[in-house]
Chains A and B, each alone.
Chain A
Amino acid sequence: MTAPAALEAEHLGKRWRSARGDVDAVVDVTLSVPRGAFVVVTGPSGGGKTTLLSLLVALERPTSGRVRVDGADLAAASEAERSRIRRRVGFSFQGAPQVRRLPVWENVTLALVPAGVPARERRARAEAVLARVGLGALVDERPERLSGGELQRVALARALVGAPPLLVADEPTASLDRASATRVLEVLREEHARGTTVVVATHDPALLALATATYAMEAGRLRAGASAAAGG
Chain B
Amino acid sequence: MRRWLALGRSGAGAVLLHPLRSAVTVACVVAVLLPYLAGLAIAHGLLDQARDAVRLGPDLLVEGVRLGRPAPVPLEAVATVQAIPGVRDVVPRIVGEIRLGRDDVPAVLVGLPVDHWPAGTTLVEGRLPAAGASHELVVGAALARRLALVVGARLPPFYRNDAGERVSTVVGIFRSDLPLWSGSLVLTSFETAATVFAQRGLASSLLVTVDRAQRDDVRRAVGRLGALGPDDGHGPVRARALTREDAAVLVPAQVLHREGVLTLHWLLAFAVGLPLVLVTTGAGLAERRRETALLKAVGWGTDDVLLRAFFESVLLACGAAAVAVLLAAVWLGPLRAAGVAAVFLPGVDPAPVVDVPYRLAPVPVLLASLVAFVLVTVGSLASTWRAASVPPAEVLR
Instruction: Answer yes or no: B333 CB below 8 A from chain A CBs.
Output: no
Chain A minimum-CB-distance residue to B394: A60
**Alpha-carbon gap, A111 to B13, bound state (A):** 16
Q: Which residues of B contact A86 (CB under 8 A)?
A: 296-299
A97 to chain B, nearest CB (A): 5
Instruction: Answer yes or no: B69 CB below 8 A from chain A CBs.
Output: no
Supposing A95-B396, A100-B287, A118-B2 touch, asked if A111 and B299 sit within 8 A by C-beta, the answer is yes
**Alpha-carbon gap, A110 to B294, bound state (A):** 9
Chain A minimum-CB-distance residue to B388: A79
State whether A116 touches B393 (Cβ < 8 A). Answer: no
- Residue-wise interface mask of B (381-395) relative to A, using a CB-CB cutoff of 8 A (1 in contact, 0 not): 000000000011110
The number of residues on chain A lying at the interface, defined by a beta carbon within 8 Å of a beta carbon of chain B, is: 32
Main secondary structure of the interface of B (DSSP, over half): helix
State whether A60 touches B393 (Cβ < 8 A). Answer: yes
Instruction: Answer yes or no: B17 CB below 8 A from chain A CBs.
Output: yes
Instruction: Answer yes or no: B163 CB below 8 A from chain A CBs.
Output: no
Instruction: Answer yes or no: B295 CB below 8 A from chain A CBs.
Output: yes
**Alpha-carbon gap, A131 to B225, bound state (A):** 100
Instruction: Answer yes or no: A59 CB below 8 A from chain B CBs.
Output: yes
State whether A59 touches B392 (Cβ < 8 A). Answer: yes
Chain A minimum-CB-distance residue to B295: A110
**Alpha-carbon gap, A225 to B394, bound state (A):** 29
Instruction: Answer yes or no: B209 CB below 8 A from chain A CBs.
Output: no
- Residue-wise interface mask of A (103-144) relative to B, using a CB-CB cutoff of 8 A (1 in contact, 0 not): 000100011011111110000000000000000000000000
Q: Which residues of B contact A113 (CB under 8 A)?
A: 6-7, 10, 300, 304
State whether B13 touches A114 (Cβ < 8 A). Answer: no
State whether B396 touches A97 (Cβ < 8 A). Answer: yes
A225 to chain B, nearest CB (A): 27
Q: Which residues of A contact B162 (CB under 8 A)?
A: none
State whether A83 touches B301 (Cβ < 8 A). Answer: yes
State whether B391 touches A61 (Cβ < 8 A). Answer: yes
A residues near B (Cβ < 8 Å) are: 51, 54, 59-61, 79-80, 83-84, 86-87, 91, 93, 95, 97-102, 106, 110-111, 113-119, 158, 162
Lowest 6 CB-CB distances: which A-B pairs, in order?
Answer: A116-B2, A87-B299, A83-B301, A59-B393, A116-B3, A111-B298
